[in-house]
Chain A
């Protein structure tokens, strides 16, 4: 007898999110479960890996295997998992602080290593879990944090540009206020054979109520996207105000996977030491 198809709701665990009402992350959770249902993923063959932060609580809310690790290291843990278990669908989730600040180095190298996984960064331009400090994507003049009373004064991190420069083959941007489009982005990202990076503008109602205006600010790309052309992608990203949504770049690069057909026994390998 065929197993009835799972609905999005079936991919949610029975743990209630700790997020604030109105948090954009609810929409990401919903879109991810819809994408999983659409792809008909087998729950126990999915692993959701995260670091620390509001968004990194996501794995517990998905009914699959999960790893809620330490701040900034989700991509590393996910890379080890994928290398050891290529049969799993690996989804990595986190925030802008987790991914671009403390985890910045892992972000660069995950892009260029190009293992088959999806990385969702819920970007709200703020550290929510530590009560509202400026993050790498915070505009330099935002001065509402006690830690940076005059604003950071430094330019913000451009995730798409850096992902492209670091060698990512799939780059997309979504918005939590556009859950249907986000679902499409996530489906494409999960299906993409390689490292798929999805930046989701996911507003923080508590520390960045100003982000409510995002629904007026987001817009489609004016250029034809996605492009397979790296140079065009670079131009599009540089010309963009950071608020355009859609798949920006989709190209193919060699995927890192272990080359490990078992071909011998340990006892035979040990013969090299015999005298």
Chain B
């Protein structure tokens, strides 16, 4: 629970670095984040870019605080403009105010009117002049040095950040970068606002959401992955590829998503826990395969890193708009598991949980991450390694009368693996009887439908289905990545002496109706917050008949992130 969640005014610091593609905005942001981490802060870095493969314009947004940071704030304390190329594209994404500071190079030209008009203070540093005084000197490092002073970070911490991020480029590059950094750092020593430095912390990770999903997959036992590249999910697959091999597993690049889903089904049939990662368009192609896995009770997990949709939509921007397809995409009566990690750090736990529950319940798990989690980097407390008890039930020595789809008390039937004598069966997408033989008889269909429903409905998912915090008579319900901003709203609310309850749902299907009903009992104000246009969670909860008539929806589509102020206003409405 984030009692001391960062807020805008005092306990966190938000920096945006912008520039033309190639100017090093993202590298600058990354070093700043690492330096903040070395100083003992936790933090978050998101990035934004145009549609170009490279070039165009790009931005890195960094926010750090002594407490966990799970969303960007309402405005930025500092804008570091490496140049002014297409800066207007970021105007919506980087809100500034008269409390903000703009750091820029007079040689880059005048500060655009659009930025000057919000009253921000302007501090000019000759990035280019300093950089050109050094062989191979880069102006972004000069800017970084100047920014570090404004952020209140020490030069030693900056040096650690530079070494961590640039080490792979060689000592020469590091040395030059450090000299440029020093020039910027020593030019103007006035800090913007001082935050006490917490001091170096142990047990801290620097990780992106996509990497965190990869870690969760491996912790859950995944040893086979099929991969088809797609933005913004590819990094999960790229991170896993070499690491799976080192752990005795493998990754197979597929020809398309139709193949990747069927590849993991084949591998899982062979007994190896399997996963793939994709985004909306890929998930759409996988839906038929998911039905096959579900009916043949072959466990698989799909991490869907959501982006703006439908169709090709906005591939590089985040949106929580795939809830409907995840819940309802399959034809037929097809109960299955749908999860959504609540933060970058939570991607580790939620993915592990999803994999192991798919294995234990012999069904499909869909994990709804999104671009804002997947491609953002966080400095977080190390997620502790959990030994979850859920495993696939394997029949290693079947007797002569083995029945693959035997009805049992828990409706989970032991599975034989190829290579096991006496356990041979044919898995099938056709409805079947307890032996797996295709059947169109009503009695078999009903029996197997019941089995596949009851094994999920009767399972005790424990308290992990949601994170519930706070008391009072007002309540915000949210899911997935929006949990971050909702928690910040709650913190601000409580700072003002008001009580509020937040419910961030991690397990969306099967919906834990009874627990959710209990959690909202006595609430006279309920707001359902999510980042999509149609209010997909709100509609779902209405359909499931858990919300009172007075509940309302705040659904804001991508590409802009939900900001705390917007939610606070909605609560007042």
Contact = CB atoms under 8 A, between A and B. Distances in A.
Contacts of A259: 245, 250
B340 interface: no
A80 interface: yes
B425 interface: yes
Contacts of B296: 67, 69
A210 interface: no
B90 interface: no
A193 interface: no
Contacts of B379: 275
Nearest to A89: B418
Contact of B248 (A72, A80, A260): A260
Contacts, number: 180
A69 B265 contact: yes
Contact of A81 (B266, B420, B424): B266
B113 interface: no
B37 A84 contact: no
A77 B262 contact: yes
A262 B247 CA distance: 5
Interface in B183-242: 204-207, 211, 215, 218-219, 223-224, 226
Interface string B115-131: 00000000000000000
Chain A at the B interface: SS class: mixed
Contact of A69 (B250, B292, B425): B292
Interface stretch (A21-29, A43-51, A227-235): A43-51
Interface string B243-271: 11111111010111011111111111111
Contacts of A264: 246-247
B429 A266 contact: no
B8 interface: no
A76 interface: yes
A256 to B, nearest CB: 8
B426 A60 contact: yes
A108 interface: yes
A5 B230 CA distance: 50
B265 A87 contact: no
Interface in A84-102: 84-85, 87-88
A270 interface: yes
Contact of B259 (A15, A52, A76, A269): A76
A44 B385 contact: no
Contacts of A83: 224, 250, 252, 263, 267
Given A43-B424, A44-B418, A59-B426, A79 B247 contact: no
Q: Chain A CB within 10 Å — which of B224, B258, B259, B264 has the most?
A: B259
21 contacts: A43-B421, A47-B418, A63-B424, A68-B429, A69-B429, A76-B254, A76-B263, A80-B266, A83-B252, A83-B267, A84-B274, A85-B272, A109-B255, A260-B248, A264-B246, A265-B247, A266-B247, A269-B218, A269-B243, A273-B211, A275-B34
Given A67-B427, A73-B259, A77-B266, 13 more contacts: A59-B426, A65-B425, A67-B428, A73-B262, A76-B261, A80-B270, A84-B271, A84-B274, A85-B271, A261-B248, A266-B247, A273-B206, A275-B204
Interface of A: 15, 43-45, 47-49, 52, 59-60, 63-70, 72-73, 76-85, 87-88, 105-106, 108-109, 258-267, 269-270, 273-275
